[in-house]
Structures are given as structure tokens and as C-alpha cells.
Structure 1
């Protein structure tokens, strides 16, 4: 907004000045550059960019979430997606959590050769170091798979996927609710 105001003030100032005949060509270039900059700034305000979390995650190495020693364990229904991933990596026996209630939210991340996961991006410093992490989901049979980048809230249970080798934990949704992208979409 400040840049738009400065550009408008500069445009008014340039309009009041009478350029010398030999500077007329330069003045036209300056006005064209000013108008182009003003139009771009206005376009950014009216049509803000919408980042694709799935595209960003696809270009980042996955599985980089550091395993921290857990000093306490939240009740299953209070664990975020990040808490679940950290817990499953620190205690890799998937049978320990089968049947635990799950309430998580995230964006749909396509996984080549597998069903999409529900994911988040972990940002330690800035978006340049964003690391994707997610949980596999057994999507309801007979329904189309959700679209990439769609934000969902899932309530269900954690289960043991015996079809994968080695067996792993996955979420069996009881209720899937589309949600708006949160104001703070990244995990700290």
C-alpha cells in the first residue's frame, strides 16, 4: 500500500512538471515505467498469488522431520499431524497405536504410486527450508480421491496397514471435512 501511495505521489509530481523538449522522450519512458509498476502492484493486491503446497512439497526431500525424544505424550485425540508423525518415528511399532482416535488437518499431497497423504510443511527458518511430512490415509472406497492442495480435517482412527511391507500406521477416516487453508498453514 505504501508503494502504491508513493507511486501515485510520484505520478502527480511528474504530471505537474513541464519537461524540457529534449527530455520529452525520457519523460515518456519514466511515465510508462511508473504506470507499469503501478499496474503490477495493483494486480498483486487484487489477485494475490496462491501457492501450491503440493507442488512445493513435491520439490522438497521428504522424511527429514527430526525425531525428537518425547518428554510427554498428548492424548491421541489432541495430537496434531506433526505430533503423530514425530510419535510414529520415535516409536516405530505401528501396532502400538492401532485404534487410537485421530483428529488432524492438512493439505492433500499426491504420492507417486500410492494414495495421497494428508500433509503439512515444517518450516524451521523460512519457506526455502520447508520439509513435507504426512500420514497415509485409507480414503473411502467408491469415492473420488481428493484433489491436490485441498485442505481437509479428518476425524477417524489410527490403524495398522498390513498390505504394506513393512506394516505401517495409517489413518482410517470416519469423517472428512473440507476446510479453508489456515491462517498459519506451516508447522513450526
Structure 2
């Protein structure tokens, strides 16, 4: 009986990890970790692992002793299935470089009220003169992004592949008196773009007229 159970440890662990990949693909879990274009590859990997697990189980190869590594791997897979990912975007952003590199684009084609937070950040970094946008309507959403040397911003995470290469971006917000912006809180802001003076230099700042708390979007990462 012990040998029969030992023989199933490896295929069971493989099957559990295959289930982790499939469940993550079929639910919203991967949206927190990986760009959508890569999701089918993860799902296919899960199918392959399940196929290998079935093949090894049918072969019925006998193990002479318990393989602790495979047993621990299976327990870890169970933990991953039971505890879905819940990353702190604000904490992650605080440890990442916000340089967009060559991704910065100048784009005046979208009406101001239709620009996302990412559109605004790219536009402001391409053409930073705040007088160009002073008074423009703003309708954006994002998470509260803490700053080490100032008030929190409204932020997003841009990814090329996954959270491992995430680039944080943010827009300065002139928060209303008495409003407490909590890290990782998702907000939708409607208002206008204004101008602030910081260390003798002008910069664009969002002037909120309406702030709403919203659930984290199903697809919080942006390309």
C-alpha cells in the first residue's frame, strides 16, 4: 500500500501544478500577473503537465521511497490553488523604475476626456508644458500610488510580459482637503488638469471634482 502511494506522488504533484495553470488561465488570476497575450501559453502548459501526470500514473512506476521534493511541490500547488494571488501594486511600484524609455509617444488625437491615465502620462512626458493642458477635462482611474517624497499619486502598472518587468506610472493629484487616499485603493477621478509650482517649476496636476472608490479592474495591468 505504501509503495502504491509513493508511486503516485510524482504524477499527483504534476497534476496539481497542471491544475494550477489551467485554473489560473480560466479565471482572472493571470490578469494580476501576466499580459493576456501570454495566457494561452500558460493554459497549454497546464494541459501538457496533466498529460504527463496521466502518462506516469498509467505507467505505474514503483518508487522505492517517498520523494519529499515532489510531496512538498504538491503541497505548494494546493496552497496556490487555495490562496489566489493578491499583489500590492503600490508596494511593487515603490521598488521599480518609472522610466518609460522609448515607449513615450506624443498623441493629441484622443479628446482629453477620453484619455486614460496611461495616455496622459505618455503625453505629458512627450510634451511636458503644463499650459498646453490647463483646464482640459480628465476622466481617469487607477490605484493610489504612494510617493517617498510627496503626496500619493494615481497610478498604473505597465507590463511588457508580467509583473517581473512592470513599470509604474502615476499622475500628481491635488487631493481635496480631508480626503485620505489609501495605498492600493482603486479610484475613478473626474475633474480637470491644472498647474502646480514645485521647486520653482510648473507641472501638470489633476484637480478632482469627483472621486469614486471602484473595485480593482478585472484587467489591472496595461501594455
Q: TM-score range by the shorter chain?
A: 0.7 to 0.9
Structure 2 counterpart of 1:39, from 75, 78, 89:
75
RMSD in angstroms over aligned alpha carbons?
A: 3.0
**1:60-80 alpha-carbon deviations (Å, 9 max, x no partner):** 11132532233x421111000
Q: Report what 1:173 is aligned to.
A: 208
Alignment partners' CA distance in 2, 1:93 and 1:162: 12
Q: Distance in 2 between matches of 1:61 and 1:132?
A: 7
Aligned partner of 2:172 among 136, 143, 157: 136
Change (3 A) 1:116 1:99: same
Kindly state the Cα deviation for residue 34 of structure 1 after the two structures are TM-superposed.
5.5
Tell me how far 1:169 sits from its aligned partner. Answer: 0.5
Match for residue 221 of structure 2?
Answer: 186
Structure 1 residues 157 and 69 mapped into 2: Cα distance closer, same or farther (>3 Å)?
Answer: closer
Instruction: Tell me the distance in 2 between the aligned counterparts of 1:148 and 1:178.
Output: 12
**For the residues of structure 2 that align with 1:103 and 1:3, how far apart are their CA atoms?**
45
TM (norm. structure 2) is 0.68
Q: Distance in 2 between matches of 1:63 and 1:101?
A: 26
Question: Which secondary structure does the structure 2 equivalent of 1:159 belong to?
Answer: strand
Higher-helix-fraction structure: 2
Quote the Cα distance in structure 1 between the aligned partners of 2:122 and 2:71: 51
Tell me the distance in 1 between the aligned counterparts of 2:95 and 2:168: 9
Distance, in Å, in 1 between the alignment partners of 2:79 and 2:158 is 30
The answer as to 2:186 corresponding to 1:151 is yes
- Higher Cα Rg, which structure: 1
Q: TM-score, normalised by structure 1?
A: 0.79
Residue 106 of structure 2 corresponds to which residue in structure 1? 69
2:148 match: 112
Distance 1:41 1:162, change over 3 A: same
